[in-house]
Every structure is written in C-alpha cells, then in structure tokens.
Structure 1
Amino acid sequence: MEAFNKLTGIVGPVDRVNVDTDAIIPKQFLKRIERTGFGQFLFYEWRFDTEGNINPDFELNKPRYEGASILISRVNFGCGSSREHAPWAILDYGFRCVIAPSFADIFYNNCFKNGILPIKLSEEQVEDLFQRTAAHEGYQLTVDLENKTITDQYGLHISFDLDEHRRQFLLQGLDDIGLTLQHEHLISAYEAKRASNSIA
C-alpha cells in the first residue's frame, strides 16, 4: 500500500448528504475480482445519464475538477452496505483523501486499509471548504498527515484529529497484511519450531 505523508491536490466537491456505497459504486459493477478498475464506475448513476452519456450537471464532470485528488462531501459519507469496493473505486478514480463532517463506521475503517485518508471536520469547516472550492477555479488543499494540518494558498489553516494507530498505518503504508509481515521473522521462527516439534 502506498504511504500517505503530504498531499497537495485539486478539491472535488460532492455536495450531498448521506452518500451511500451504492451511489459510490453501484451493485452491478461488483463482479470484478481485482481491486483495480473500479474508478471508471465511481458515482456512475450521477456521472452518466441513462444512455451512458456524461452528465454535465454533476460536479465532478466539470472541467475545473479534472484530476482532483481530494474529495469533500457532507454528513454520513459512505453509509449503506459494507462493500469494500467503495474505497477501491474512490482510490482508483484518483482520490487519496476524503473530507466530510462524518462517515459511516465501516467505510471509514476501510479507507485506512486501502491508503485513503478520511478526515472529519465540523460542518462549518466543511461548508467553508465548499465555498472556497466554488470561489477559486482549480482550488487546491495541502493535507499534511505528519502534522495533521490542512492548508491552502489563501491563508486557511485547519488542524484535524486522527487516531495515532491509524495515522501510523497510513504514514508507513501498512495494511493489515503489511502489519503482520513486520513480524515475519517471528512467524517464520514459530513455524520452524512447530515443524520440528511435529517431526520429533
């Protein structure tokens, strides 16, 4: 998993509350067995019309948000079913950070396992980010995980809280398997001892 330290990127807005995982990645696209390739289906029913044409009214389809790597949204982001495909789609599309006032617990936990930084800010702070994003074309934020700060070139400076264990996961680029493999020498020693005992 790619480590997350500091990210400077364009902000892409999805100005909706209760964005559920079926909106993030609709169920008809869950048949893939790889973790990659889901980005093309992110917010599919919002990004495209019923005939498969791009919906010009959906925020992320606007040229000013092309290449965005920081997603902002409203309360209860990632609610609904527990599908891990939702963070897979977000990451594959190009987002490394999602900022919202609150997240569904399972989605929030899955983000850390897939190299995405979810940040909880107050509704007032998120509203300010929406206003800044609308006011400045190509608006960018710098998210510094080492120092737990969010800044822009217009004087914004926000500190955010994050569980230290999860912060270290992202800083070191560790998922559950990577964390286990840090103890590979101990696991190998145990397996070798177990094998020799069974032979004896």
Structure 2
Amino acid sequence: MKAYTIEQGIVAPLDRANVDTDLIIPKQFLKSIKRTGFGENLFDELRYLDEGYPGQDNSVRPINPDFILNQPRYAGASVLLARANFGCGSSREHAPWALEEYGFRTVIAPSYADIFFNNSFKNGMLPVILAEDIVDQLFKECAATEGYQLTINLEAQEVRTSQGDAFKFEVDPFRKHCLLNGLDDIGLTLQASEDICAYETKTKQSRPWVFQEIRG
C-alpha cells in the first residue's frame, strides 16, 4: 500500500449528500475480486449517458458533459469534496478501490458511512471529516476558482487552502500510523514475519505431526 504523507491536488466537488456505494461503483461491475479495473467505471451512472456493463469500450460511450469528472477544469483531481453520509449503502470494498484507482487519495466530507470509512483506511485512502460550514466554504471556493487545490498533511492532521486557511481534522492514531507507513493488513502481519517463522520452527520441533501431509 502506498504511504500517505502530504497530498496536494485539484479538488473535484460532488455536491450531493447520501452518495451510496452503488453510485460510486454500480453492482454490475462487482464480478471481479481484484483491486484493479474499477477506476474507469467510477460513478458510471453519472459519467455516462448509457447503461454500463463490464468489458465494454468506455472510449466510445456517450459522456454526460454536466458531470464534474467529465469537465476539463477537474481533470487530474485527487481530492473529492462531498456532502454528508458519503459511502452509505452496501459494504462493498470495491468503492474505495474504484476511487483510489481513478486517482482520489482523499475524500473530504462532513460524515461517512462507517463501513466505507473503515474500508478507505485499509486501502490507502484518507477520509477527512470537516464541519459542514467548512465544507460549505470549500465548495464555494472550489466553484469560484478553476484549478482549486488543497493540501492535506496527515502528520499535522491539517487541510490547507492556497489562501492559507488551515483546518484541523481528527484521525485515529493507529490508522494514521498505518497510512503514514503504507501498511495494510498484510503489511502489518509481515512486520511480525520473524516471530511467525520462529513460532513455526518451534512448533515443527514440539508438534511435528501438525505439519505432516494429510492423506485421504
């Protein structure tokens, strides 16, 4: 997992509340359990004017010119600005997979659905919670300034605007440690690889039958 330290990027404003995981990545794209291949269908129902299905050539599909991700001013955005209860609905982990693969490393919103919030940290993405009045301010500034950017400093737990305004956010210390060091669940386990190997060696000596081949 890629470490998250300081991220600066263009902001894409998704001005709607209660964005559910089916809107983030529609159910017909969930046939794969790989973590890749979902970015091109992020917000599929909003990005395109036809119905999407797995394996189609998205380059020839009719796009929705009114959707933010199809507008040139938000090209290359890495910060998604959203409204309350972002990521509600089903618990699919494909939602943060799709956001991260598209290029978003940060989501800023007043609140999140719990499972999406937890899944984001486990997949190297930072869900920042800011008060609604601050989020309102960021939406207004983003609308008024083309190429509007924010800098998110995880170590300092701070979101900073190009005008110099800084907003503090809270983050669980353990999750912060994992993001700063690029540790997912597998990475955390591998930190104890020497202890695991030592335990297996000891177990082979004390209980060798555990490692014997089972014959039918």
Q: TM-score range by the shorter chain?
A: over 0.9
For residue 166 of structure 1, what is the aligned residue in structure 2?
175
Paired with 2:144 and 2:19, the residues of 1 have a C-alpha distance of: 24
Q: Find 1:103's aligned residue among 112, 122, 131.
A: 112
Deviating above 4 A after TM superposition, structure 1's stretches of 4 or more consecutive aligned residues are none
For residue 34 of structure 1, what is the aligned residue in structure 2?
34
Shift of 1:27: 0.3
For residue 10 of structure 2, what is the aligned residue in structure 1?
10
Q: Find 1:136's aligned residue among 136, 145, 148.
A: 145
Q: Find 1:80's aligned residue among 84, 89, 101.
A: 89
Q: Find 1:127's aligned residue among 126, 129, 136.
A: 136
Q: Find 2:186's aligned residue among 174, 177, 194.
A: 177
TM-score by length of 2: 0.90
Q: Aligned residue pairs: how many?
A: 200
Shift of 1:198: 1.7
Paired with 1:165 and 1:154, the residues of 2 have a C-alpha distance of: 31
Q: Give the counterpart letter for 1:125 in structure 2.
A: I
Paired with 1:199 and 1:7, the residues of 2 have a C-alpha distance of: 50
Shift of 1:157: 0.9
Paired with 2:27 and 2:116, the residues of 1 have a C-alpha distance of: 16
Paired with 1:161 and 1:36, the residues of 2 have a C-alpha distance of: 30
Q: Give the counterpart letter for 1:95 in structure 2.
A: F
TM-score by length of 1: 0.97
2:215 is aligned with 1:186: no
1:95-119 deviation digits (Å, cap 9, x = unpaired): 0000000000000000011000000
Q: Is the 8 A contact 1:100 1:119 kept in 2?
A: yes
Q: Is the 8 A contact 1:13 1:60 kept in 2?
A: no
Shift of 1:61: 1.2
For residue 93 of structure 1, what is the aligned residue in structure 2?
102
Identity of aligned residues (%): 59
Shift of 1:42: 0.3
For residue 47 of structure 2, what is the aligned residue in structure 1?
47
Shift of 1:153: 1.6
Q: Give the counterpart letter for 2:162 in structure 1.
A: Q
Paired with 2:71 and 2:17, the residues of 1 have a C-alpha distance of: 20
Shift of 1:85: 0.2
2:74 is aligned with 1:65: yes
For residue 155 of structure 1, what is the aligned residue in structure 2?
164
Paired with 1:155 and 1:189, the residues of 2 have a C-alpha distance of: 52
Shift of 1:75: 0.3
